[in-house]
Amino acid sequence: MKNEFNNIHFTLKEVKKGIYAAISKPGGGAVANAGFVDLGDGVIVFDTFNTQQASKALRDAAERITNQSVTWVVNSHYHGDHVRGNQTFKGTSILSSETTFEKMKEIHPPRIEKQKADIDGLTQYIESLEKQLDESGEATLQDQVSFLHEMKRSLPELELTLPNETFKEDKTIQGTRRSATLFTLGGGHSFCDSMLYLPEEKVIFMGDLVFVHCHPTFFDETDPRKWMDILRKVKKLDIETVIPGHGDIGTKEDIDIMILYLTHLLSVQHKESAEIPPLYKNWASPEVYFQNIKNVKSKKGTSVHE
């Protein structure tokens, strides 16, 4: 990969010929992973990062490498680090599941409006963190400060750009070089999680259904049992390479590890877990593990306890 595509937001990696993963860098404006696929007569971008500056760098890389314009954009789910860069791709076909479209339309406008109205508050918060950073020099704090500067930079011009095409269960796009299947099996991590599967190359973009060597984030709508059911179904596909929503490029084994992790969380829900099990000990964001334990324990209803 040429150095000209290096930036503060992501590292670009060629997974197979014409298939690229954009792995987010700490402190940049990406937050989550994304990627793009050259179909031969068109380009699909999978997810658009958290800020316009990161998504612009992604679009530039995709169009310069493939020597053609982006044709389709996929939003895997409604969370901001996967969709807030959509405005960079106005004029293309932006695809999502019907549920993702509805949740984006419902949740993001008031959230973005509130953030825009409180840029002064964000500035003060950044300044307070910078004072702490001067005293501690802590690397994770530096990453947080850098990320918040990227957020502040994005807010004045940020516009919510919704998908302009939706699908219910799946959609296959046939190119001259390869085909790509966009599909969802419902919600697990979020209300609805979509994936992009490239059968000939045995590559799958999984959004936040898989995290590699980092603890997955849970939300109010997260359902660990449904999440595991989805992963078990995906495992039946012919897959060699997994591009996760967070963490480095993985393999089919990382789907199994994700199932094990979720199974573990459910198994400890009725007792305190004082330390992280050895398998997950060296994963990034260890504090998230304890948040996840509390989250699963606080869930009520048959979806978790049955």
d(CA 173, CA 44): 9
The whole-number pLDDT of residue 306 equals 28
Say what the pLDDT of residue 273 is.
59
Full-model pTM: 0.93
Distances (CA, A) of 152 to 28, 66, 116, 223: 12, 31, 9, 32
Q: Which of 205, 77, 221 is nearest to 86 (CA)?
A: 77
Q: Under CATH, which architecture does the 3-102+160-305 domain have?
A: 4-Layer Sandwich (3.60)
Please tell me the predicted confidence (pLDDT) of residue 137.
75
**82 phi and psi angles, rounded to 5 deg:** -115, -10
Average pLDDT of each block of 10 consecutive residues along the chain (306 residues)?
74 97 97 98 97 98 96 98 98 97 98 97 96 83 94 97 96 96 98 98 98 95 96 98 98 97 84 78 91 79 34
**How is residue 102 written in tokens?**
């509805």
pLDDT, residue 173, reads: 95
pLDDT of residue 304: 33
CA–CA separation, 230 vs 210, rounded Å?
A: 11
| Residue 237: partners with Cβ closer than 8 Å, 6 or more residues away | 197, 199, 204
Token pair for 117: 């109205």
Cα separation, 172 vs 210, whole angstroms: 22
What type of residue sits at position 159? E
Name beta bridge partners: 173: 180
pLDDT at 255: 98
Do residues 25 and 54 make contact, with C-beta atoms less than 8 angstroms apart? no
